[in-house]
Structure formats: C-alpha cells, structure tokens
Amino acid sequence: MGLRVLVCSSEVVPFAKTGGLADVAGALPKALAAMGNDIRVCLPKYASVDAKKFALQRYAGPFAVPMSATVQVSVDTSDAIPGVPAYFIDSPRHFDRKGLYGEPDDAERFALFSRTTLEFLRQSDWKPDIIHCNDWQTGLIPVYLRTAYKNDPALSRIATLYTIHNLAYQGVFPPDALARAGLDRSLFDMGGLEFYGQVNFMKGGLIFADLLSTVSEAYSREIQTAEFGERLEGVLAGRRGDLFGVLNGLDYDEWNPETDQLISARFSKDDLKGKAADKAALQKKLNLPHRADAPMFGLVSRLAGQKGLDILSDVLPHMLQLDVQFALLGTGEHHYHDLLSGFAKQYPDKLGLLLGFDNPLAHFIYAGSDFFLMPSRYEPCGLGQMISLRYGTIPIVRHTGGLADTIADFDAKTGGGNGFSFREHTAVALCGAVARALLTMKAQPAWQRLVRNAMEADFSWGRSAKSYLDLYQRAVDHRRSQ
C-alpha cells in the first residue's frame, strides 16, 4: 500500500503559475500517483484560477479558522489533474486578487493558507501520512503542527517534508506577523522564527519540519555556506543530517521534440531535419535573416543578476560582432530591458528580443537554437538546461547548483559530456565556454556526438519521485517514533 501525501504549494500547474515551483508541484504528484500512492495537492484559490475551466466545486465549509481573529474559509476541489485531487483554500478577502504574491498582507494571507489547510485536514475523513511543504508560503505548516496542534490526535502524527526551491525568497515580515498568524510570542527568538529582528516564515519550516530537501544535491551543499546561505546557513548546517538534495524532473509530455505541437517541425535524435526547419521558423519570428550556418544562441530567463545577466551583458557586445545570432526571451530588471533593447537596435540582424513571456516562442527557442545560455550566479535546480538537452540544444552553463548536477563538460577525446560549463562567475570564464562551444560546432563528428548525448539524457520525474518517496517514508518513520 502506498503513502498518503498532501503536496502544499502556493502555485501548481495547471491552475496558477509564476515560476518553476508550479511545474514541480504539478508534475511530481502525477509521478507519485502513477506509482500507486494517494497524492493530493492544496493551493490558494486565486482570482486567476479558472473555476469554470477546471470545474471547481465546493467541497467543505465555510468553517472557522483561528488566526488573530477568526476567519471563515471554504475549500473547493477539482479533478483537473488526472488521479490527483486538488483542494483550493477559498478566502476571497485574501486570495481573490490579480497577482499571487507581493501584497502588503502576504504574511496574513499565507499564514491563513497554512492554518486553513490543517483545519481542513482536522475535519476531513482523509488524513495524509505526510505533508510536503514548499517554499516560504507553506513554512508555517510545520510550525502550527508542532505548536498549536501538537496535542491534537488527528494531526500530531502527520509528518512534514519542507522543500526549499529558492533560498533567496524567505517570507520575512515585521514582528507583528506572529500575532496576526495566531502564534505565540515565545516563537520570536533565535531558536524560533526571529530573524534579525523580523519574522521569517522559511526559517519556521527549516526548524520545525521533520526533514528538509532542496532541488539538487549541489545546492543542498552550497546553501550551508555563507556565499549561498542567505543568512540561514547556520540553521541549515545545524540540520545537515536532515537535509537532502533531490533533483527536479522534467515533464516529457510537455517537452518532447517528437510530439511538440507548438513548433513548426517535429524531430528526434535519429532525424534532426525538423530542427533545421525550426531554426528557420525562429529566425522568421524574430525578424532575423535566414542563416542556416550561423550559430544560434537562445536564452529564456528572468532578466536578473542572479541569472547571470550581469556577465552576459559584458560579453554580448563582443559576441554580437561574431557571425552568430541570438534569440532572447524574458522579463525582469528594467536596466537589463534597456540594455538589451539597445543591443537589439544596434544589431537588428543578430539579436532577436522579446521582453515578456510567450510560451510558443519559448518552445521555438529551445527547438531552433544551437546553444542555450544559463550563466547563473546560482541556480537551485534549473529546468531550462534539461529542456534544451531534450531538444538537442547544447547548454552553456555556470557550474553551480542543479546546473552542476545535470551538465557535464563535453570531452571530444572520449565523446562524453552533454554541454559546456565554467566555474568562475566572470565574463572571461563565460567567454571561454562560448569559445569551446563554437569550436566544437565546427568539428562535425564531435558535434553530432554531443547533440546525441544531449538528447539521450534522461531527467524524467520517475527517478526523482522515487527519491521523494524514500524521504517521505523516512519522515513518517521519524514522526511515528516520537
């Protein structure tokens, strides 16, 4: 008999998404359910959730949720993810808004999400063996379980796994956030949620959860150091025995060049003719000259220093003087918008730029590019490099986090490796990796071997799901032994 698992996340594909967390929270439960487990997901009911499209129905409530003052909340449900029931925490005053995050009352909103989830489970006939919490928005679930509900026979035996998707976003709020969450003032100390005079929701998850994980093995080690620890390295190092790295998987139903309906032509590792057609279509979409022989560099990214836009901005003027083309898609910090727009005007035949997000164009960039750039300062896991591998587009990455765990430097002598990487976060190091990549592309037997290596890489969710099941069982055994 499998485990009963509730995956709690502030965003879940296909219902609500701002980033990679939603992809994980949508894909992992499907893989776990396929392995015979009883998996359910829980998220807030935002205004952007299409109740008609996903056939939402009232499941429970309204019922009272104790916060600083009692709040009446309901729960809706949907069967839009096959085999994975989804629950939606419905409090219009808190979640019926245009965006997902960035609101002045985010502390209250996500404290309510966490506590309502537990109140709902307390009243429900279905009880999970474990709750899988994700990022700061669910950091209070382990806190509530081990404080407000520690003597509740219905909830006290539920284990928790807390997953860090990006340590840089911690949910840090003024001290009165504790009172608004209905938590005792005694938690405002160094051994609790206090964090440099503020309240830190992520720290709560890190301290109170049974086990901790993050989204790659390399990142699990990096975040225990001052360079990557975001001032929580001491807490993380103190729990190093309970901290594990599990690499995210990729949904190959969505990202598959043999079946992708968003690109012009399908292709496979045994027949790459369609990739050339997709390159031509990409050039046309971005108003670039049709050049089959010009190396095409792709980038689909948030435009921020963390993603390496600082060093790429230094390198780009020199690269644009070479016989190459660029396809750039993303949005982010405005000074990068201005800088890249200036380059696009200066080199209209070489740089195609779209500031925003366009899912079909993203598919074309992955399919039609020769190289995919990810020069990140840090990268907890990264999905772009996994997607580009699947489409035979060779990643050029910084050796950090999940990029280090997935991309092995190509060795023309042995034929091993699936991309190019560099260690120092500098423009010079990035230039060196680009130069190696361009030289390899000119050596056709080696290039063909590299492309095949890339397309044969397997980062499907099955392996990751098994690792999560092992962690779930370990956390459940720990909780039951208490």
Q: What is the DSSP letter of 196?
A: T
349 domain-assigned = yes
Regarding whether 136 and 241 lie in a shared domain, the answer is yes
Regarding whether 475 and 428 lie in a shared domain, the answer is no
Give the phi and the psi of residue 457 in degrees, each rounded to 5.
-65, 140
- Residue 314 pLDDT > 80, yes or no? yes
Q: What is the DSSP letter of 271?
A: B
Burial 385-419 (b: 16+ CB within 10 A, else e): bbbbbbbbbbbbbbbbbbbbbbbeebebeeeebbb
- CATH number (domain holding residue 369): 3.40.50.2000
**pLDDT for the residue 263:** 98
Beta strands across the sheet bearing 394-398: 351-355, 325-332, 296-303, 371-374, 394-398, 420-422
Q: Which amino acid is at 288?
A: L
The count of structural domains within the chain is 2
- pTM score of the predicted model: 0.92
| Cis amide bond preceding 85, omega within 30 | no
Regarding whether 388 and 242 lie in a shared domain, the answer is no
Are residues 457 and 27 in contact, defined by beta-carbon separation less than 8 angstroms? no
393 domain-assigned = yes
Coil, strand or helix at 8: strand
Instruction: Specify which residues 63 forms β-bridges with.
Output: 73
Regarding whether 475 and 419 lie in a shared domain, the answer is no
Average of per-residue pLDDT across 145-161? 95
Whole-number Å distance between alpha carbons of 482 and 473: 15
Regarding whether 161 and 201 lie in a shared domain, the answer is yes
Indicate the pairing of strand 159-164 with strand 211-214.
parallel
Regarding whether 470 and 429 lie in a shared domain, the answer is no
Regarding whether 313 and 207 lie in a shared domain, the answer is no
**pLDDT for the residue 122:** 95
**pLDDT for the residue 254:** 87
Average of per-residue pLDDT across 176-197? 95
Residue numbers of the domain that contains 332: 273-458
**pLDDT for the residue 213:** 98
Mean pLDDT taken over the chain: 96
Regarding whether 319 and 233 lie in a shared domain, the answer is no
Write out pLDDT tens, residues 355-412.
998 999 999 999 999 999 999 999 999 999 999 999 999 999 999 999 999 999 999 9
**pLDDT for the residue 164:** 98
Burial 62-72 (b: 16+ CB within 10 A, else e): eeebebeeebe
Write out pLDDT tens, residues 79-113.
999 999 999 999 999 999 988 999 999 999 999 99
117 domain-assigned = yes
Regarding whether 434 and 303 lie in a shared domain, the answer is yes
406 domain-assigned = yes
268 domain-assigned = no
294 domain-assigned = yes
Regarding whether 41 and 184 lie in a shared domain, the answer is yes
Average of per-residue pLDDT across 17-41? 93
- Residue 309 pLDDT > 80, yes or no? yes
81 domain-assigned = yes
Regarding whether 366 and 224 lie in a shared domain, the answer is no
Regarding whether 330 and 401 lie in a shared domain, the answer is yes
pLDDT band, residue 442 (cuts 50/70/90): very high
Average of per-residue pLDDT across 300-323? 94
**pLDDT for the residue 251:** 86
pLDDT band, residue 253 (cuts 50/70/90): confident
- Residue 433 pLDDT > 70, yes or no? yes
Helices (H), 370-426: 384-390, 401-406
73 domain-assigned = yes
- Residue 1 pLDDT > 70, yes or no? no
Burial (Cβ within 10 Å: 0-12, 13-18, ≥19) of residue 457: middle
Whole-number Å distance between alpha carbons of 148 and 145: 6
Coil, strand or helix at 198: strand
pLDDT band, residue 143 (cuts 50/70/90): very high
